[in-house]
Amino acid sequence: MQTQSSDSPVHPFECVTFSSGEQVFCLEITQIREIRRWSPVTALPHAPGDVLGVMNLRGAVIPIIDLSARLGLGTTAQNDRNVVIVAQGKSNSSGFLVESVSEILAIGTDAIQETPDIKSDLTKGYVGGVIALEDEMIRVLNLDNLLQTETGAAA
């Protein structure tokens, strides 16, 4: 999910938008394995606060992460609209708990702007670009960076 400079060719870009920590984010549709309802997870001892636990996804053990907490936006309040977005990274998958899923968006890669040069390195690492849609800012998540913290930092 690279930001595009103006002269590079335009590709169609389809993504799923969702809200987390009262901000709107999206992940490219090819990175999403499935979206499922929240079900209780098995907590992991000594896990960082944003790791809720592990869940059984048809025989696979996948970690479930509170996206809002990982982004430093506070924990997600539990409600009926909560869903888990299972995302497939290069080597592993993880589930992200988000507040709610909004829609599928089809745009061109030219609509993705570079992340503005903000102060927070945390945010810059996790947000690969932004999309301006009407009045709303949609933050394109950098999935690899989000998942890297998993096997990397915990080791």
Partner 1 sequence: MTGSNAIRDTFFAECEELLEALIEGLGIMETPGHDPECVNAVFRTVHSVKGGAGAFGLDELVAFAHRFETLLDMLRNGEKTVDRTVMATLFKSADVLSDLVDSARSETQADPNVVKAGHDALDQCLSDAPKEDAFSFDAISLDFDAQPIQAPCPNRYLIRFRPHDALYRNGHEPHLILDTLSEMGRYEAKLNLDDVPPMSVYEDGCAHLTWHISVTTELDETAVQDVFEFVGTLCDLTIEQVALADDMDCKPSIPDSTAAERPVSSSTPATSPKAGLTPKPTLRVDLDRVDRLINAVGELIINQAMISQRVEELNLPSTAQLNNEIEEYKLLARDIQEGVMAIRAQPVKLLFQRMARIVRETSAETGKTTRLVTSGETTEVDKTVIERLSDPLTHMLRNAVDHGLESPEQRRASGKDETGTIKLSASHRSGSVIIEISDDGAGLDRTRIFKTAVEKGLIAADADLTESEIDNLLFLPGFSTANTVSNLSGRGVGMDVVRNAVSALGGRISISSIPGVGTTFTVNLPLTLAVMDGFVISVAQETMVVPIAAIFETVHPRREDIHQLGTDDVTLLIRGQYIPIIDVAFNLGLRQRKVPPEISVLLIVNNETTGLVALAIDDIRDQRQVVVKSLEASYGPVPGISSATILGDGRIALILDTDEITGLSVSATTMPLAPSQTSEQTYADTIQ
* Residues 89-118, interacting with partner 1 (CB under 8 A): 91-94
Of the ranges 26-34, 58-66, 80-88, 124-132, which one interacts with partner 1 (CB under 8 A)? 58-66
Nearer to partner 1, 19 or 92 (CB): 92
Stretch that binds partner 1, among 12-20, 43-51, 79-87, 120-128 (CB under 8 A): 43-51
Cα distances from 86 to residues 89, 94, 132, in angstroms, run 10, 6, 25
Shortest distance, CB of residue 26 to partner 1, whole angstroms? 24
Q: Find the part of the chain contacting partner 1 (CB under 8 A) among 21-29, 36-44, 75-83, 133-141.
A: 36-44
Say if CB 136 and CB 127 are below 8 A apart: no
* Residue 47, phi-psi category: left (phi > 0), alpha (psi -120 to 50), beta (remainder): beta
Dist. CA 147–CA 95, nearest whole Å:
10
